Structure 1
């Protein structure tokens, strides 16, 4: 019980201290009809990399419906896909750290998070974006990656 209380406190503090980027919902499609509450669906969202202007990532992810989904207490599955693209002049505005979280979204009331982390492959001069889901106890091996080349003049 003490461990659960501590985990809840950490989650509440993290929710207020962390400033995860907000994604812009682009659209969605229904996948399962629900008699009560919203349908299950696949949501497509976009967010811009906070340290690399000119890069936008598009996420598609599963979102539970029904009564629990409508109330925000359902746990979404770990199914997600990502596609990141250069959409303007690519400018790195901060120090790039491998494994740095560039986006996160809670996919259950307290314990599950969908995250996007960025890596820099200096040998090939590309940015790699990885989307995955984790939990306090156990995450999921489901993942997806996307790669954005850095123009030769900017990489080194």
Structure 2
């Protein structure tokens, strides 16, 4: 084994593990999936629907549907998923905010890699204080070129949103 390979192993491991990272608090729960393309070797291409509970707003859940690439590359985590997603956020229980912790006007609620290195799926929460509404935007970005494909949804909040 060469010294160059030995020295690069930790970097390679960190790179691979970074593909599994999500922001703390927002965890995906797969609700269901449908096959879209049959693949002879490896998993089929799919559309997956995941649920994400807003980590700072109890009682709000966001449902995100997106493509997941299958085949051999998809099976080993080397595939690049399409930069297309849809989002629908709903009140799923009584809405509550952490006491003494106001929401920022805009904050990334969730982020997940959809390619090995360069592309991420993001969900951002925005606060429309004038209308007392939480607005959620999903989009994907890429280090070199982003995608304008996006989806937006809103959840009205009775009783007010804590301000900064």
Q: CA deviation at 1:153?
A: 5.1
1:50-74 deviations in Å (ceiling 9; x for gaps):
1100000000000000000111110
- Which consecutive segments of 4 or more residues in structure 1 shift more than 6 A? 9-17
Number of residue equivalences? 150
RMSD: 2.5
Is 1:116 matched up with 2:123?
yes
Residue 63 and residue 12 in structure 1: after superposition, are their counterparts in 2 closer, same or farther (change >3 A)?
A: closer
Q: How does 1:7-156 map to 2 (within 5 A)?
A: 18-19=23-24, 21-93=26-98, 94-152=101-159
Contact 2:22 2:110 in 1 (8 A): no
Give the TM-score, by structure 2 length.
Answer: 0.82
Residue 142 and residue 16 in structure 1: after superposition, are their counterparts in 2 closer, same or farther (change >3 A)?
A: closer
User: How many Å separate the matches in 2 of 1:149 and 1:132?
Assistant: 21
Q: CA deviation at 1:22?
A: 1.9
1:92-133 deviations in Å (ceiling 9; x for gaps):
223212331101111001111000001011111100000000
Q: CA deviation at 1:152?
A: 3.1
| Residue ranges of structure 1 left out of the alignment (5+ in a row) | 1-8
Partner of 1:4 in structure 2? Answer: none
User: How many Å separate the matches in 2 of 1:71 and 1:131?
Assistant: 26
